[in-house]
Structure 1
């Protein structure tokens, strides 16, 4: 009997205008290194998507039987909201019919977070606070 090993997938959501920093790459590698994962970048157009397009992407992720983890490098609030909701309550209607426990679709949603800010001076002399290149956490 032939053994089939399931390969799970991590989808990394990133806007074309953003870069995955070295520290972020290391965090992803350390988080998922002991498991058998394929990585797939979901490249968001520089101008973003409208709600219908975002929902289409959510449904593709939801219906992908190998997608277990979604990492948002670029924050897309609607998709984070929908995927988080679906992960916990995707089967609520089936559970009600069967009087069973509430079970989600087993997709974990992660976002990169950074508390650190760095002062930067713009060419016009104005000082702004920018997110630091280090200090990232995957939450």
Structure 2
């Protein structure tokens, strides 16, 4: 007899967009996130994320701020203008009080060190997810 349970790991139904221009870093993070049952869509550029209409369905964006094509705040403004209402984890080493940090905080985004550990990144993702998100299935 199989007993159904309503408990699921947080990541089981959560989509994460990952934007990083460094292919090795992007691939390693993608593998780590998938090993934790996240549904990951990865992009080498901000333009690629913006061009993918499915990216609006994912409640979390992990974004390396050292991107050449579009800067992080510009990407997030465009995503929000197109209806995305998730949160971003911005990977950088911004100084406290910087304009970019203040803008991120105003939207509930989180700025993290680029070399964040996998465990700390997973904790940040879990903390950024809005359980009222339309895609939440738990």
Could you tell me the TM-score, scaled by structure 2's length? 0.40
Of structures 1 and 2, the larger Rg is shown by 1
Could you tell me the TM-score, scaled by structure 1's length? 0.39
More helix by share: 2
More strand by share: 1
